[in-house]
Structure 1
Amino acid sequence: MGTLYQSPIKSSSPNIIQDLKVIIHDTFTILPPEKTEPRSMFLSNIDQVLNFNVETVHFFVANPDFPPQLVAEKLKMALTKALVPYDFLAGRLRLNPDSKRFEFDCNGAGARFVVGSSEFELSEIGDLVYPNPGFRQLVQKSYDNVAMHDKPLCIIQLTSFQCGGFAIGVATNHATFDGLSFKTFLANLGSLAGDKPLAITPCNDRHLLAARSPPQIEFDHPELLKIPEGVDFPTTSVFDCPEGQLDFKIFNLTLKDIEHLKKKAKDGPFSPNAKITGFNVVAAHVWRCKALSSGSEYDPERVSTVLYAVDIRSRLDMPSSYAGNAVLSAYASAKCKEIEECPLSKLVEMVTEGNKRMTGDYAKSVVDWGEVNKGFPNGEFLISSWWRLGFADVEYPWGKPRYSCPVVYHRKDIILLFPDIVGADNDNEVNVLVALPHKEMEKFEALFHKFMA
């Protein structure tokens, strides 16, 4: 149960080609089809703390009716059309000198479109599920040496393989989308590429998540950490490690494994408030392993806090088509001694309670907290789940992706959940990507299998 998917990267499989030999042929600035009046776009307090890039790659097998050159033309056309309902994607991020807040300058400066090719066939680059560092070549960077107000907010790269297959790499500033709204954007891009209308009209009114006036912080928020006056906002997590110091492994949980965890949570001492779902049991299991493997010495009195994302659209009666970030960090906390000794159902109950805690009133309090304080989520680690976002379900004229994945930068404080490859008859399986220092990884792996038994 809970089989290891691959070896650590430092002894990676010879079947993994890490240098994809990508050559960039053309770079285009994609402008909106019609000139619009420049405007400033308000960004919520959730958007404010997300000034960093999110990079994803979407792989497609060869389709004789859609060679990569044709796909590139259709994507360019689709992106041009998309810059009408998503006009902010043609803008730039700027810091308003008066309000000291980030905002989108919707100035029509344009998105980017990049065309490249690899000398390999898609089948040669290895298992797509394995987070290959070479995948970074499939996504154009947002020009790190360029000033913030000149950086494009959206860059799409089409990379063709020798077999006729191709990859679409997308880099967006996280302030533009969360996972759900990014899937909507992809669905709209696919629809426009097929000369169809938008699949879903986006709601761009970010004032829906504006703080109240005056702010009303009605709850304690231990999941948030205030930055003291005079201290610069950190650019990296205190838990982060240089990548070379981390091993990474992928633990594959099959449908049978997940059902086993659910049964284990239901059997024995059962917590009546535990909601036995696939995510909750996997999150509880991962939390236990991470908490008990952290640090050089085990401290039973140390408190471990796990963070995990909760969508707040329905909790605030917002439209599901809201195009900004509408996700907050729920949390569960306990001493390591309790985490080690309590039944799985108790951990599931704590994860459940974290989700239930995120009511509409609580979410408003978090947004208002961000109005008063300068800070960020505070926990031992974050479970970032791409498991059921459904990027591989998006329909394009040339078909659905063979696989969609984030470009992974291994961090000790983030454990990633992501689905298995499409069409492998394993739609409900989940892969758990863990990056830890070597000694902690040994502990985590041993605990992962011990608590699966």
Structure 2
Amino acid sequence: MGTIYQGPPPVIQDLKVTLEDTSLVFPAQETQRKSMFLSNIDQVLNFNVQTVHFFKAHPDFPPEIVTQKLKNALCELLVPYDFLAGRLKLNQGGRLEIESNAAGAGFVVASTEFSLNDIGDLVYPNPAFRQLTVQSLDSLGPDDQPLCILQVTSFKCGGFAVGLSTNHATFDGLSFKLFLQNLASQAAHKPLAVIPCNDRQLLAARSPPRVTFPHPELLKLKIPVGTDFNPPVFDRSQEDLDFKIFRLSSGHVSHLKEKARIGATNPATTKITGFNVVTAHIWRCKALSCDAGDNQDRLSTVLYAVDIRPRLCPPLPPSYSGNAVLTAYATAQCKDLEEGPFSRLVEMVSEGAARMTDEYARSAIDWGELYKGFPHGEFLVSSWWRLGFAEVEYPWGKPMYSCPVVYHRKDIILLFPDIDGVASNGVNVLVALPAKEMEKFQTLFHKFLA
């Protein structure tokens, strides 16, 4: 069924990127100055996310033409996405919001001495890809940083990379995909692919807040009164970590689905999806590789994101531009993860997502109104697998590959697509662990896949 573990290929650690021009771009038309409410989901996501989108050379679209088209497209988009040209601020009550003040988005033009062929396997998370995005502009102060910075880096071969750094408070993965579709449509001088719904009040807490579930997936923090604090979703580990990619082919995923069907006690209600079976497989391996002495009675909790747009009553518009993803969870003792049937683990992952009803989601949002805190579990499975960034059709074609810029974290396992995109049904699993745990994880990954 193909190679499972991929060792690190030779990678260029310095792409020798030269920043040729850095500027601010502004909305193409005058926009209304206003403050934008941010939901309690947006509130805890005040950090930057970077993605890189690689494109082959195109005879009709050399990098300088692409650069101008993207610059113009971004200016046009800053009208329907007026908040993206704004700045984060705290209101008088100390709550984070966006001041839509047309202060501008960042635009960077860069070049590298290398060709795309020189940098090798695009799927492999090369730390040097960080050079293809800019997170902040040195010319601006810390309180005046753009919420979006787009960088076009041209390669010697005529190919190029489009790097985007956006504050996570602006988009989740699904709404960012719609933003990319709109960027592509504006670059082609076409109407917007999707008109964004920017009303974040749709996810406002109820008044008064009503927390109707215990929410063990959320951790309260004791913050002194008057303290301005935006917690990280997970603490960044300072440990020395090995990282490896485990490639699951479509055949592997089909095999895991078949294993899940055998012995399933609730076949009618359990969703045996690719995501659910891969998450269950990872959960078992991660929990049992933990170096915690006698693991048998230890509880392990896996967290994973669930899109709440279709789960609310009434449903959120699919075009909702903010963060509409909440954290689902599954918890089990390690001995059950080791000895229990795989079908039961998949059922627990499926049940975790099914738990996310309208009332549960509203309760979680209300919890965020009452407490400072963030998702809490042993680790999070963060999936870029089915987002389809590489399916976006630009005037110069689809990307060769689209990927997040990866920062290795023990408590986050990333799923991202293979080079053939969502059509291949294969998935890459990026794991970062201390050496001893990684060795055990790799052994278990093979053992439980058999």
The TM-score normalised by the length of structure 1 is 0.95
2:287 is the alignment partner of 1:291: yes
CA distance in structure 1 between the aligned counterparts of 2:384 and 2:102, rounded to whole angstroms: 31
Cα offset, 1:147, TM superposition: 4.6
Q: Secondary structure of 2:424's partner?
A: coil
Q: Which runs of 5+ in 1 are unaligned?
A: none
2:131 is the alignment partner of 1:137: yes
Query: For 2:85, which of 82, 90, 96 is the aligned residue?
Result: 90
Which position in structure 1 is the counterpart of 2:444?
447
Which position in structure 1 is the counterpart of 2:275?
279
Q: 1:158 to 1:269 in 2, by over 3 A?
A: closer
Cα offset, 1:236, TM superposition: 4.9
CA distance in structure 2 between the aligned counterparts of 1:344 and 1:365, rounded to whole angstroms: 31
Whether the 8 Å CA contact 1:2–1:452 is kept in 2: the answer is no
CA distance in structure 1 between the aligned counterparts of 2:2 and 2:204, rounded to whole angstroms: 43
Whether the 8 Å CA contact 1:58–1:405 is kept in 2: the answer is yes
Aligned residue runs from structure 1 range 346-425, under 5 A: 346-422=344-420
Cα offset, 1:48, TM superposition: 0.4
Q: 1:15-56 CA distances to partner (integer Å, 9 max, x unpaired)?
A: x11211100100121011223332110000000000000000
Query: For 2:114, which of 114, 120, 131 is the aligned residue?
Result: 120
CA distance in structure 2 between the aligned counterparts of 1:144 and 1:371, rounded to whole angstroms: 34
Number of aligned residue pairs: give it. Answer: 445
Which position in structure 1 is the counterpart of 2:307?
311
CA distance in structure 2 between the aligned counterparts of 1:414 and 1:238, rounded to whole angstroms: 8
CA distance in structure 2 between the aligned counterparts of 1:144 and 1:326, rounded to whole angstroms: 32
Q: Which amino acid aligns with 2:256?
A: L
CA distance in structure 2 between the aligned counterparts of 1:267 and 1:334, rounded to whole angstroms: 20
Cα offset, 1:421, TM superposition: 0.5
2:213 is the alignment partner of 1:219: yes
Cα offset, 1:304, TM superposition: 0.5
Using the aligned pairs only, state the percent identity. 66
Whether the 8 Å CA contact 1:91–1:108 is kept in 2: the answer is yes
Cα offset, 1:3, TM superposition: 3.2
CA distance in structure 2 between the aligned counterparts of 1:71 and 1:219, rounded to whole angstroms: 50
Q: 1:327 to 1:3 in 2, by over 3 A?
A: same
Which position in structure 2 is the counterpart of 1:79?
74
Q: 1:144 to 1:378 in 2, by over 3 A?
A: farther
CA distance in structure 1 between the aligned counterparts of 2:233 and 2:364, rounded to whole angstroms: 20
Q: Which runs of 5+ in 2 are unaligned?
A: none
CA distance in structure 1 between the aligned counterparts of 2:294 and 2:403, rounded to whole angstroms: 34
Q: 1:5 to 1:452 in 2, by over 3 A?
A: closer
Whether the 8 Å CA contact 1:201–1:321 is kept in 2: the answer is yes
Aligned residue runs from structure 1 range 55-66, under 5 A: 55-66=50-61
Q: Which amino acid aligns with 1:407?
A: V
Whether the 8 Å CA contact 2:328–2:352 is kept in 1: the answer is yes
Q: Secondary structure of 1:59's partner?
A: strand
CA distance in structure 2 between the aligned counterparts of 1:369 and 1:318, rounded to whole angstroms: 20
Cα offset, 1:228, TM superposition: 1.4
Whether the 8 Å CA contact 2:50–2:405 is kept in 1: the answer is yes
Whether the 8 Å CA contact 1:153–1:172 is kept in 2: the answer is yes
2:6 is the alignment partner of 1:6: yes
Q: Secondary structure of 1:346's partner?
A: helix
Cα offset, 1:229, TM superposition: 3.7
Query: For 2:429, which of 429, 432, 436 is the aligned residue?
Result: 432
CA distance in structure 2 between the aligned counterparts of 1:133 and 1:393, rounded to whole angstroms: 24
Most deviating of 165-174 and 270-279 = 270-279
CA distance in structure 2 between the aligned counterparts of 1:33 and 1:239, rounded to whole angstroms: 40
Q: 1:145 to 1:30 in 2, by over 3 A?
A: closer
Query: For 1:301, which of 266, 289, 297 is the aligned residue?
Result: 297
Which position in structure 2 is the counterpart of 1:204?
198
Most deviating of 141-150 and 368-377 = 141-150
After superposition, the CA RMSD in angstroms is: 1.8
Whether the 8 Å CA contact 2:175–2:320 is kept in 1: the answer is yes
Q: Secondary structure of 2:256's partner?
A: helix
Cα offset, 1:426, TM superposition: 6.0
Which position in structure 1 is the counterpart of 2:246?
251
The TM-score normalised by the length of structure 2 is 0.95
